[in-house]
Amino acid sequence: MGSHRLVNVVDVEATCWEGAVPVGAVSEIIEIGLTVVDLAAGERVGRHRILVRPARSRVSAFCTELTGLTQAEVDSGVDFATACRLLGRDHAAGTRPWASWGDYDRKQFVRQCETTRTPYPFGRHHTNAKAVFTEAHALRRRPGMAQALAHAGLPLEGRHHRGEDDAWNIAALVLDLAGRDAWPPVADGPESP
């Protein structure tokens, strides 16, 4: 069985503000949650978290209220370039298919990699789990993660808007879709060792 049976489910949290973005600040990733799903076994086989120290913004009170993350906590994290290297080294991000809920996480990585001149850590096999879920359940609107869990009859485990917990919950939705034969297959290609 090829490595495409494993999927990295990724959810990021980024600096955010209730109102306008402070002058000179940009939204930056502060937490990368990653759950490894084994589609063949039908289970979550790894749960990981990388804290990322922002370089051009600070964690606002609003952001702490939303995510539970504080500036002091993310100050103990690694810089963004190191986080991207860790994704490749420890989680086969460049070769393993990956998924996120919606397209925000992928776009945030693309944007931040471009602005920091950091090599993009992921391979080309990305699946928007929200789109797959919406189609599989014949919904008219794309639901948020918490709504999707309720719709699928799955519990929300941990804290919503915490990357590690959200990746774990999204992984449960990926497995639910795979159990319904609704998860799109990834063909073996040059990126699968």
- pLDDT over 80 at 186, yes or no: no
Closest CA to 12 of 30, 27, 25: 30
What is the per-residue pLDDT across 27-74, written as a single tens digit (0 to 9) for each? 999 999 999 999 999 999 999 999 999 999 999 999 999 999 999 999
Model confidence, pTM:
0.94
How buried is residue 124: exposed, middle or buried, by Cβ count under 10 Å (0-12/13-18/19+)?
A: exposed
Question: 31 φ, ψ to 5°?
Answer: -150, 135
Tokens 């289970």 locate to 43
- pLDDT over 60 at 189, yes or no: no
- pLDDT over 50 at 2, yes or no: no
CA atoms within 13 A on the CB side of 152: 27
Residue ranges and CATH numbers for the domains of the chain are: 3-179 (3.30.420.10)
Check residues 101 and 189 and name the one with the higher pLDDT.
Answer: 101
